[in-house]
Amino acid sequence: MLSTIFCNFIPLIKLGKMLHKVKYGSRTGFLLLLFLFLMPDPVLWGQTDPEARAKALFEARRYEEALPAFRDLVRLYPNDKQLNYYLGACLSETNQFDGETKRALDIAKKEIPESYFYLGKYFHVRSDWKDAIQNYEQFKSKARKKSVKDSSVHELIALCRAMKNPFGAAKVQTEDDPGAPEKKTETPVPDEPAFIAIPEELKDSLIHFQVNAMVSYNKIDQFKQEASKQAFVKGWLIGRDLQVKLDKLSDLRKQYGNLIGPEQDSLVNRILKLEQETYRMNQQAREAYQEAHVGEAAYWDKAGALEIQEFRAEINRIQDRIRNVAEEREIRLETEKMLIILPDTAVATDTATMTGPAVPSPIVYKIQIGAYRKSPPAWVQGQFKKLAVIRRIDQHVDEKGVTVYTVGELKSYNDAVQMQKQIRMEGIKNAVVAAFRNNERISLEEAKRETE
């Protein structure tokens, strides 16, 4: 800060003298200018969200300052069309027309027609007159009238037709530039997949892996195909690491809520990056489990009726043992309660007849914020990004193949309604309350009958 003041000290004195001549005393004028000089950048007043700050710089035509921020955001959200547009535009405005520029604009043009203007420049720089004119014309026909009016597209088209390139020494090619000649390389031989050792804690653990309507696994050694078993172990390990990251993400969100100002801002990028990692890991785990499912389903499709019958008998024996252990535990707990609460004469009660009522699976309420068969639209992804800073967003694929996005896990319907109101205030206007048992959705009427 002191070096900045020193570098600008002489210009400030000159401006202070100018104010003295016009209206103010020299001391007052100098102090006023010093105050204005040290004030925060007015372009960024009130902007705490990194994306909003970058957009403010872009609107102020400060493209070199906005460029690093948009690069970071695109790394986090590589398919976001709006962010790719800003990145491609910043690169173009700073005279960089390489492969990174074209990739960003190709993604953005599907929704943002202004991208065609910069794509026209990309080809214009290369003296590719035909493709340049074609993209400029696409911009003229698809973009907003104001955008076309404020641009120099007509002059650029005229220059293309005259085969003139006005861009001078622009950066036009890198090794990964799509416009560069294709390099011939030998096709690498894929490595054999590394063997994954089964963790000790998984060897003796109970699992629930549904292969089809007739067959489900309770133990890891029931897998019939080694490749399928390896895929399941991979998914399980990813899921274990994912839980660690989710716990860390939860801690960061708590820290975010307890901080203010710059300290809070510094956590935003860490939260967004970690959120993106959890989405990626969640997808990897689902793909691994799906691979395991396909392999085992293929085996049992070819199995005979006798093999299936014998396997189901084995599963029934395992489940009977599980039920017996659970009942014994329930009886033991009930007995311990009686020993504490009832008089001595009640100790002789025949515990063999005490089976206890069946305990239904718990019902949880979640706030559903979206359901999409494909990737959510760009504007929805923008909403999710902002919400993800303060809340964990879960996702699962339902029986119809639709990815459902939810927030929260609540035991009370009234608590769920309160969270629904909060999330709507946070920008997700279509948030709804949904009830689940064993990760399967049930009606709210059924859920309320059991929880109220």
Contact criterion met (CB below 8 Å) for 286 and 397: yes
Rounded to whole angstroms, the Cα distance separating 63 from 60 reads 8
User: Could you tell me which residues are beta bridge partners of residue 441?
Assistant: 436
Residue 167: pLDDT over 80: no
Q: Among residues of the chain, what percentage have pLDDT more than 90?
A: 17
Query: Percent of the chain scored above 70 by pLDDT?
Result: 71
| DSSP structural state of residue 180 | S
- Given a cut of 80, whether residue 177 has pLDDT beyond it is no
Cα–Cα distance for residue pair 4/194, rounded to 1 Å? 56
| CA gap 172, 124 in Å, rounded | 10
For the chain, state the CA radius of gyration: 32
pLDDT for res 117: 94
Mean pLDDT, the chain, as a whole number? Answer: 76
**Rounded to a whole number, what is the distance in angstroms from the first to the last CA of the chain?**
61
Q: Name which of 313, 280, 282, 298 is nearest 228 in CA terms.
A: 298
Q: Which of 18-32, 107-121, 208-222, 282-296 has the highest mean pLDDT?
A: 107-121
Give the tens place of pLDDT for each residue, 365-387: 999 998 888 778 888 888 887 77
Single-letter code of the amino acid located at 179: G
User: Mean per-residue pLDDT for 194-207?
Assistant: 80
β-strand partners of 96: 171
pLDDT grade, residue 325 (50/70/90)? Answer: low
pTM recorded for the entire structure? 0.39
- Name the pLDDT band for 121 (thresholds 50, 70, 90): very high
Nearest to 431 by CA among 399, 405, 449: 405
> Residue 336: its pLDDT value, please?
57
Q: Is the pLDDT of residue 181 over 50?
A: no
Place of tokens 């395991």: 292
> Measured between alpha carbons, how far is 87 from 372 in angstroms, rounded to an integer?
27
Residue 189 has pLDDT above 80, yes or no: no
Query: Is the pLDDT confidence value at 19 over 80?
Result: no
Tokens 């515990």: give the residue.
351
Work out the number of other CB atoms within 10 angstroms of the CB of residue 309: 10
How does pLDDT run across 53-67, given as a tens digit for each residue? 889 899 988 999 989
The average pLDDT across 176-190 equals 45
Across 324-351, b (16+ Cβ under 10 Å) vs e yields eeeeeebbeeeeeeeeeeeeeeeeeeee
**Integer angstrom CA distances of residue 380 from 84, 173, 281:** 16, 34, 21
The pLDDT of residue 361 is: 60
Instruction: State the average pLDDT over residues 354-358.
Output: 40
Given a cut of 60, whether residue 359 has pLDDT beyond it is: no
> What pLDDT band is residue 168 in, cutting at 50, 70 and 90?
low
Rounded CA-CA distance 59/43 in Å is 9
